Amino acid sequence: MMTVIDLEPSARRLTDLLGTLADSQLWAPTPCEGYRVRDLLAHLLDVTSAFRDAATKVEGAAAAPSDATAAELDPHWRETLPRSIEAMVFAWRDPAAWEGTARAGGRLLPAPIVGRIAAGELLLHGWDLARATEQPFSCDSRTAEASLHVMSLSANDSDQRERQGLFGPPVEVSADASLLDRTIAMSGRNPQWAPI
């Protein structure tokens, strides 16, 4: 049985980063190819709502569409996004969220896997935002380990469709790479990415 993961540490770091974000940074590039910061924020609004619904077993819940650049950023995102993150975290605090199955990326998966993907979304997009705005980023080892584990499962699966819509192809890193760098790389991101 998989251990329940507390989404609060990653959510708090992400929310702290949002609080430092200037309007002038909304068009900055991010480590997510084709995404500007504003696209990442729009994606986060969709993702946090989708994973909240996954936790509460809302019928038809599915993770947000992968093409966030097509989404319009809510002009009130400074209020709505932190609330949406908080609601997602609250939903996954319920032990029932971790039971049975839930949807992620349009697929029905064991709920503990979806919960770990949800935790990873907060961690990864927090890192994306920190890199895009050239701010330091740290994460708790438990969330990084859980995220790395669930991404490794899909990377090693002979059916690579498991990763489709969730993660990109893993990026190679050195054997002595940090846990955070290995987690970032397993998601398909380059841990050394920096804005040009």
Q: Is the pLDDT of residue 41 over 70?
A: yes
Q: Which residue has the tokens 């729009």?
A: 42
| Burial readout 84-122 (b: 16 or more C-beta within 10 A, e: otherwise) | bbbbbbbbbeeeebbeeebbbbebebebbbbbbbbbbbb
Q: Is the pLDDT of residue 68 over 70?
A: no
- Number of residues that make up the chain: 196
Percent of the chain topping pLDDT 90: 76
Question: 30 with 128: CB under 8 angstroms?
Answer: yes
For the chain, domain boundaries = 8-19+28-142
The pLDDT of residue 180: 96
pLDDT bucket at 33, cuts 50 / 70 / 90: confident
The pLDDT of residue 93: 96
Q: Which residue has the tokens 């895009």?
A: 132
Average confidence score pLDDT of the chain: 88
pLDDT bucket at 127, cuts 50 / 70 / 90: very high
The CATH code that applies to domain 8-19+28-142 is 1.20.120.450
The pLDDT of residue 29: 97
Q: Calculate the dihedral angle through the C-alpha atoms of 13, 15, 19, 24, rounding to the nearest 10 degrees.
A: 100
Residue that wins the pLDDT comparison between 58 and 123? 123
The pLDDT of residue 104: 83
pLDDT bucket at 27, cuts 50 / 70 / 90: very high
- State phi, psi for 166 to the nearest 5 degrees: -115, -50
Q: Is the pLDDT of residue 144 over 80?
A: yes
Percent of the chain topping pLDDT 70: 86
Tens of pLDDT, residues 145-196: 999 998 888 665 544 444 455 678 899 999 999 999 999 999 999 999 999 7
